[in-house]
């Protein structure tokens, strides 16, 4: 989703002067620093959105759980609700609400961010081997590793539940018990699913054209509009085998899986 956002900003703002403000008042100084400048580039790095205005002049946004960006046509209307940052370009206006962070970054801080994050399946410069070297040495559960942004950047709670389901992998299986070919299939699937998601603007994990699981049943639509197998379907029948989808808290997030389709590996 963030990549889709970044592409939109790149298309609609890059190369143009942008009026930046903070109607809510919590990003006033940062907004003033870039207000009226030409946006050089917008890009996504994992779940981070970067607006590059110049050397040491980068606005870094992390939406967190609740953050949203909404686009509006011109002319500009008075902001509604808590608008942390408003950008006005030649053709439209974007309002940012509720981000976990929105701050001015130096180039060194951006470099540190790049160094900290694992490969992002949506970036062409991603090196999946970096993730494999972490994963294949870790005793942590796959479910933990997939959403660890220092292992893989950009994968969230929906993709982790869904990709593990699609590959019949037990979420609690230690990373180091994953075989190399299983990892390669997992990575390739993430790239495909996330590209599809970035194009469509929603998370679909039941894809007719590329689907390791043939359910023969109508997929289920989740509240975000995407089509999923197990995410937020606790207690409902698995779309493949009919077993109740299980749920458990893991690291403060809800995990969902099918105990029958994703059994613990035999030892």
In the complex, the residues that contact DNA under the rule CB under 7 A are 1, 24, 26, 46-47, 62, 64-68, 81-82, 84, 97-100, 147, 149, 156-159, 202-203, 223-226, 232, 251-254
Kindly tell me which of 68 and 243 has the beta carbon lying closer to DNA.
68
E strands of the chain, at which residues?
Answer: 19-21, 41-45, 48-54, 57-62, 68-73, 85-88, 92-97, 101-105, 220-221, 227-228, 246-250, 253-257
Cβ atoms within 10 A of the Cβ of 178, count?
A: 20
CA 233, 265, 168: angle at the middle one, nearest 5? 40
Kindly tell me which of 26 and 41 has the beta carbon lying closer to DNA.
26
115 token code pair: 């160094």
CB of 65 to DNA, least distance (A): 4
Distance CA 136, CA 209 (A): 30
Kindly tell me which of 69 and 178 has the beta carbon lying closer to DNA.
69
CB of 224 to DNA, least distance (A): 3
CB of 104 to DNA, least distance (A): 16
CB of 203 to DNA, least distance (A): 5
CB of 27 to DNA, least distance (A): 10
Cβ atoms within 10 A of the Cβ of 83, count?
A: 21
CA 255, 256, 257: angle at the middle one, nearest 5? 130
Kindly tell me which of 60 and 89 has the beta carbon lying closer to DNA.
60
Kindly tell me which of 88 and 146 has the beta carbon lying closer to DNA.
146
- Compute the radius of gyration of the chain from its Cα atoms: 20
Distance CA 146, CA 151 (A): 7
CB of 261 to DNA, least distance (A): 20
CB of 130 to DNA, least distance (A): 17
**8 A C-beta contact, residue 24 and residue 40:** no
By C-alpha distance, which of 232, 18, 24 is closest to 9?
18
Kindly tell me which of 39 and 43 has the beta carbon lying closer to DNA.
43
Kindly tell me which of 27 and 183 has the beta carbon lying closer to DNA.
27
């Amino acid at each position: 989703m963030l990549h889709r956002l970044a592409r939109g900003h790149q298309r609609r703002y890059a190369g143009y002067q942008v009026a930046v403000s903070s109607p809510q008042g919590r990003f006033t100084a940062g907004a003033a620093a870039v207000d009226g400048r030409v946006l050089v580039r917008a890009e996504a790095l994992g779940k981070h959105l970067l607006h590059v205005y110049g050397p040491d002049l980068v606005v870094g946004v992390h939406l967190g759980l609740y953050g949203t960006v909404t686009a509006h046509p011109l002319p500009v209307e008075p902001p509604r609700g808590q608008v942390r940052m408003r950008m006005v370009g030649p053709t439209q206006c974007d309002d940012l609400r509720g981000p976990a962070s929105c701050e001015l970054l130096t180039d060194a801080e951006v470099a540190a961010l790049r160094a900290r994050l694992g490969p992002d399946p949506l970036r062409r410069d991603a090196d999946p081997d970096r993730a494999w070297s972490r994963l294949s040495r870790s005793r942590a559960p796959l479910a933990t590793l997939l959403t660890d942004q220092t292992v893989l950047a950009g994968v969230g709670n929906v993709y982790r539940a869904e990709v593990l389901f699609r590959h019949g992998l037990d979420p609690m299986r230690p990373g180091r018990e994953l075989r190399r070919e299983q990892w390669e299939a997992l990575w390739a699937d993430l790239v495909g699913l996330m590209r599809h998601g970035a194009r469509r603007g929603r998370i679909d994990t039941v894809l007719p054209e590329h689907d390791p699981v043939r359910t023969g049943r109508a997929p289920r639509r989740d509240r975000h509009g995407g089509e999923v197998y197990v995410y937020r379907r606790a207690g409902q029948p698995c779309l493949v085998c009919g077993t109740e989808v299980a749920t458990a808290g893991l690291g403060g997030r809800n995990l969902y899986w099918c105990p029958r389709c994703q059994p613990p590996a035999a030892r």
